Structure 1
Amino acid sequence: MGTRGVIGDKWAMRILWTCAIGSAISLYMVAVERQMQNRDRMLAESVKAAEAEGAGDEV
């Protein structure tokens, strides 16, 4: 009647919290990476647009 699984309740909660914190950290890192990619893309588009305007003025 007193038998439980291999992992006790205390350790199960520790493992659960560790997985939850790890998932939150990885989601945060993905969000930061996407922000950097979006920023780089916007910068590249603005440089391309500026070059197109500059090329039109020179011709």
Structure 2
Amino acid sequence: MLGSRGLVGDKWSSRILWFCALGSAVGFYMVALERRAQNMERAMAEYSKELESGGQQSSGGDV
């Protein structure tokens, strides 16, 4: 009934494989973008803390 090829034929199995590969690539790309945004946000928060604390200390010491 199904033949020796199994549930799906060679043509469809390769299409499914490419679809899964592309889906994984898109997923990894989205995760990379999210992590980059989080890292940028964290770096900006640390930088602003350094400016606030460092700016107050250095202005009193420089003058």
TM-score, structure 1 normalization: 0.85
Task: Provide the aligned C-alpha RMSD in A.
Answer: 1.4
One-letter amino acid matched to 1:36:
A
Larger radius of gyration: 2
Gaps of 5+ in 2: none
Match of 1:11 in 2: 12
Distance 1:39 1:54 in 2: 21
One-letter amino acid matched to 1:50:
L
Match of 1:51 in 2: 52
TM-score, structure 2 normalization: 0.80
Distance 2:11 2:23 in 1: 18
